[in-house]
Every structure is written in structure tokens, then in C-alpha cells.
Chains A and B, each alone.
Chain A
Amino acid sequence: MARLEIQETGKLPKNAKVIVGIPDAGLVGLISASHLIESLSMEEAVSFDSDAFPPIVVLHDGAPKSPMRAYSKGDLVVVISEIAIQLSSIRDVVRDLVGWMGAMGSSLSISLSGAPVPNRVDIDVPRVYGISVNVKDDLLAKMGVDRLQEAMLVGPYAAILEACRRTGAPNLTLLAQSHLQYPDPGAAAEALKAASTVLGRRIDVQPLMEKAEEIRVKLRDLMRSTEKVMRDSGKEREYELPSMYV
């Protein structure tokens, strides 16, 4: 079993709201998390490592870092991964991540991701759908987000949702209509706008949209490696019609 080794290097708030940005459809989570870290000038607070990760160190401003880290500011913590989590280790990594959030006393985890739609190119403003577990039923309605009623979720965010459901941890999963295999900053902007209500702060997505094309170019290779993991996970099953008579 691949455990998540957690090294806390900075201050973490009590009752934190934790945003999770892991590479998945359209890299929506990663783009959203990255924008939050940059725009709020968040400080690095946690380094995650695991035998399940490939032997990768990323360099930022000359400093070697684990590809999966958490940043904090005020009551907000953002978990970001610069590598896609391999199918074989998703459950173990997520179980430990959700366990860590519980031990930290997190009040809510918010997963941001894409809901891949084949006609994304025809959509001006992606809609955001929500799923919630162990939170008040009317939260999504208050946020103005439609609850996802019938669907199949595949990948790391499905594992987070399931781990939270099982352990009683509160989780909100926000899915913006997105490309599956192309980085989608437009979807990330809509996911962030939806999340801003529950975060209790306005998130300016204008700088994100101004850099959208550059982001799409620079995330090509990460999207390519994420695509391989999504293919292994059977991500295309999210396109399937739901089994409504089960």
C-alpha cells in the first residue's frame, strides 16, 4: 500500500477550507488551484510524498520541491499536484489526504474539476454542477450551483468524494463543463467563481482569462501525461448515459 508521507513546513489554520487541485479533466483543478496560490500570495505549508509517485522533484526558483504540496493563507488551504496520480495509487493517496484533512480539523474540502462535455467548443460560459456530502443540503442552492443528479464520476475526485462519504468528512465537489483532453482555463474560471461564495471572498479571474492561451500552451505536456492516466482510469465512462433504473 502506497502511503502519503506528509511533511508540514508551515502554519496551518484550524477549521480550514481546503481546495484540492489534482490533474484531471481539462486540468481544471490544477489551473484553479494554481491561480488561487498566485493571486492570494499563499505560502507553502505542506509537502506530500509517496512511494506511489514517480521519482520526480520539481524546481521552482531553484528550490527542489515535491510535485504535490499544500499552501495556506488565512483560513484557506490549497492542495496542488503537478503530476497526475496513477490509477493504482489513487485510493491510497486520497485516503491519506482525506485523513490528513480530518486530522487538521478542516471544516470543508472543496474539489474543483472539469465535467467533460464533447461540445465544449460551442459553450461560451461553462455551467458548474455540484455534488455535496456531509454538508447542509441547501449549500449548493445558496451558491446558485445546480446539483449533479445522475452521472458517473471517475478518477481522483471520485475517490475523494467516496472517502469523504465513508468517513463523514464534509466535501463539496464543483465540476465546470470542460474539455476532457485540453487544458481549460475558462472552465477553471467558472469553477473558481462558483467556489468564491463558499470561500467568502471574491476571486478575480480576469488575470487568469488574460493568460488563458499561454496557460493552454504551457500545460500541454502535463495534459498529455494526465490523458494517459485518465485513459487507464476509464475516464471516458463519464460520457456514458447514467444507469437510471439501477
Chain B
Amino acid sequence: MDEDPFELIERRMARLEKRLMQMLREGFGPTWDLAEKTLEPLHEVLELENEIVVTADLPCVRDKNDLEVHCTENSVEIRAKMSRPICFRRWGTVQREADFECYRKVIPLPAEVDPERARADFRRGILTVRLPRLIRRHRIRVL
């Protein structure tokens, strides 16, 4: 499939901007939501030649059936239910107890992937999602 190089650059710039905004939010914002009782899991995105590998640390999640992983060409969404609530006592300036029951995180990807061929594995509380890169061929005109 041939593609206009300007459209390609524009799309990549938009993705870069989105990623920068996400990084800014992650740098300053809280990593929890009291109302939803959710925590953001620690995660890592690794760029390999043919695939993007996303891992997430999900302690207190017992079984793969307590996990939901959704994927688009640009992101992975992880939702996971803990086997028991984790309680933070006398927490922060309000000195209240806070219970968290699940994890939720939408992770933007650094390159487009093929969601149809993605596969996931869950062992020892670590989720690993392997996402093959979407390869687009571009014709280069020889002048």
C-alpha cells in the first residue's frame, strides 16, 4: 500500500504529541483513582525490531480470568481485578483509609501494531503482551 509521505509525517507528529502529553500527565498526576478504587500498574514498553512488548506488574491478581486486555493499533488497555482489596491506612493529608480493588491503565504505544496478531501471557503477577508491529510498505520513487 502506497501512502502520501506528508500524511505519514503528520500522523507520526500527532502520535508524538499525544505521547508527550501522556508522559507529562504521568510525571505529575496521581497514579490512583479513589472513586473508582483503581491503581495504575507499573508497566514497561519495550520496542523490538518486529514487535512492541508491554509488561505490567499486577500483584494480587490471581488468575488470567481476572484480567481484561484490549488493544488497538495505537494502545493497550489493561483492566485487572485484585483477589482482595489493598488498604492504605491513615493515608495522606486527609488521614483516611483507602481501598483499591483493581488496576486500570491505557498505555499508548510508540508505533502502530497489528492487534489481530497480539498475544498475552500472565505469570507470577506479571502480564506480558506481545504486539507485532504493523508494517507498511512505501514506494520510493527513483529520480
Contact = CB atoms under 8 A, between A and B. Distances in A.
A242 to B, nearest CB: 22
Given A121-B123, A121-B128, A221-B31, A213 B42 contact: no
A217 B31 contact: no
B59 A181 contact: no
Given A182-B57, A223-B42, A224-B31, A217 B124 contact: no
Interface of B: 31, 39-42, 44, 57, 59-60, 86, 88, 100, 123-126, 128
Contacts of A165: none
Contacts of B126: 121, 182
Contacts of A213: 59-60, 125
Interface of A: 121, 179, 181-183, 212-214, 216-218, 220-221, 223-224
Contacts of B100: 217
Nearest to A59: B90
A218 B42 contact: no
Contacts of B124: 121
A216 B126 CA distance: 11
12 contacts: A121-B124, A179-B57, A181-B42, A182-B42, A183-B57, A213-B60, A214-B60, A214-B86, A217-B39, A220-B57, A221-B31, A223-B42
